[in-house]
Amino acid sequence: MGKASNAYDVVVIGGGPCGLAVALSLAKNGLSVAIIERGSYNQKRVGEHLPASALGVLQELGVPAALVDDKEHLHCAGVVSWWGNDNFPHSVNYFFHPFGHGVNLSRPKFDRAFADYVRRMGVVIFDHAKIQKSSQNTGSWHIDIADGKNNDHLQALFIIDASGKSASFSRMQGSRIVTFESQLAVIRYYTTCALPLSNRENHVVIESCDIGWWYFAPLSGGNCVCMLVTDPDLIDLRKHTIDMSWHSRLEKTRAIAQLVHPFTTASDISVCSARTQRLNRFHGEGWLTIGDAAMAFDPLSSHGITKGLRHGWMAGKAISHYIRGDNFAIRRFCQDLEQIFAEYLSTRAGYYATEQRWADSLFWRRRHCFDQQQH
């Protein structure tokens, strides 16, 4: 746990990329900030690819370039997509971007280094901490937290919910999660690559298939991650069959299987939600939701971390203005969030529309009539 009971301008719930970014942005605007993080920075976290544009957001936040250097993380040359046809892939080449490369992060190393930097900038992080009780009284929040050993009492003028897809605090304030499909990601990590460094792929590769799409990302240290994104009713996830269905489906791919073959050691398969969702309401009196807690994107976008960093940076400025008397700053920020989500939905529909080879399969039929699928 961090320091004893205390009063802060802002308390952030969740110390993922978005929570860390908003805390940093607020601290740089002269506000006192604490983060309540329920976990630690040692657990596995999903999501690794940062497109070149994300490096610009990190720079705007003032994060030192060393945090994403190529000793711990892998510089990535771009994204190759086998999507929409069998003959040639589409490529996004970061060489032509001002930063010249993207980054495939080793997580949770990145989160740990980011949290250490944010601490050095004056933010207090309470890790392994859970909120026991929160209430609002005469313009101040009162929050009781516990980490299993100690209890603390915090006060704050403002609370930010950056708790990821659970959006736990916002839901306690009455917001509701709206889901747009129920897709999930079946994930496997591989280590020990038999290929020499110079022959290894350093692109992210995406390949569509009849029940969804595959993703391959090389990681530093000769590791990689591979995942299949599909709908829960289209794959048998029972423990004794999942390995077999993974292998048989992987072997049918055009590009992904070849990339995975040189890796000799495979982790167990894990499964997590990869659905699009958003909150029906992003803010209330003295609180605001950002990052995945506000809106979670399809991993096809590879923009979840970048979005979290950008929300953090923008929200930090909006809340600083609000605390200094600009009553409309939060409302303007929420209008921006609405626009970001509308643009995301339209881009996502556009991407899925360009794949028409399995127009009869359930996965693709569902993606081709997105608008009717809001649950």
Interface stretch with ligand FAD, choices 24-32, 63-71, 147-155, 160-168 (CB under 6 A): 160-168
What's the closest the beta carbon of residue 353 comes to ligand FAD, in angstroms?
A: 22
Residues 6+ apart with CB under 8 A from 87: none
Q: Would you say 38 or 73 has its CB closer to ligand FAD? A: 38
| 299's tokens | 């991993």
Nearer to ligand FAD, 231 or 326 (CB): 231
Neighbours of 375 (CB within 10 A): 10
Between 303 and 364, CB nearer to ligand FAD: 303
| Single-letter amino acid code for the residue at 289 | T
Compute the chain's Rg from CA coordinates: 21
Q: Which residue has the tokens 């929160």?
A: 134
φ and ψ at residue 160, rounded to 5 degrees: -115, 130
Q: Applying CB under 6 A, does 108 fall inside the site for ligand FAD?
A: no
| Distance in Å, CB of 185 to ligand FAD, minimum | 3
Please give the Cα distance from 171 to 316 (Å, whole number).
Answer: 22
Using rule CB under 6 A, residue 80 touches ligand FAD: no
Minimum CB–partner distance for residue 145 and ligand FAD (Å): 9
Q: Tell which residue, 71, 77, 163, has the closest CA to residue 113.
A: 71
Binding track, positions 276-315, relative to ligand FAD; x by CB under 6 A = ---------------xx------x--xxxxx-x-------
Strand, coil or helix: what is 245?
A: helix
The CA-based angle 93-97-99, given to 5 degrees, is: 115
- Which of 10, 22, 16, 20 is closest to 317 using CA atoms? 22
Size of the site for ligand FAD (CB under 6 A): 34
Which of 2, 15, 102, 218 lies at the binding interface for ligand FAD (CB under 6 A)?
Answer: 15
Q: Which of 78, 102, 108, 164 binds ligand FAD (CB under 6 A)?
A: 164
Q: How far is CA 32 from the centre of its chain?
A: 25
**Min separation Cβ 87 and ligand FAD, Å:** 26
Q: Does 102 bind ligand FAD (CB under 6 A)?
A: no
Residues whose CB is less than 8 angstroms from the CB of residue 116 and which lie 6 or more positions away in sequence, other chains included: none
Q: How many CB atoms lie within 10 A of CB 187?
A: 20
Could you say which of 28, 32, 39, 286 contacts ligand FAD (CB under 6 A)?
39
* Cβ closest to ligand FAD, residue 317 vs residue 357: 317
Closer residue to ligand FAD in complex, CB, 146/359:
146
Smallest gap from residue 225 Cβ to ligand FAD (A): 9
Q: Between the CA of residue 182 and those of 27, 46, 103, 178, 293, what are the distances in Å?
A: 37, 18, 28, 11, 17
For residue 125, with 0-12 CB atoms within 10 Å meaning exposed, 13-18 middle and 19 or more buried, which class applies? Answer: buried
Least Cβ distance, residue 159 to ligand FAD (angstroms):
11
Per-residue x/- marks for ligand FAD, 45-64, CB under 6 A?
-xxxx---------------
Give, for 80, the enclosing helix (H) or strand (E).
strand 78-82
Query: Minimum CB separation from ligand FAD for residue 196, in Å?
Result: 26
Which lies closer to ligand FAD via its Cβ, residue 136 or residue 166?
166
Q: Can you tell me which of 24, 157, 185, 211 binds ligand FAD, judged by CB under 6 A?
A: 185
Binders of ligand FAD in range 191-230 (CB under 6 A):
227
The residues of the shown chain that bind ligand FAD, judged by CB under 6 A, are: 13-19, 36-39, 46-49, 131, 162-164, 166, 168, 185, 227, 272, 274, 291-292, 299, 302-306, 308
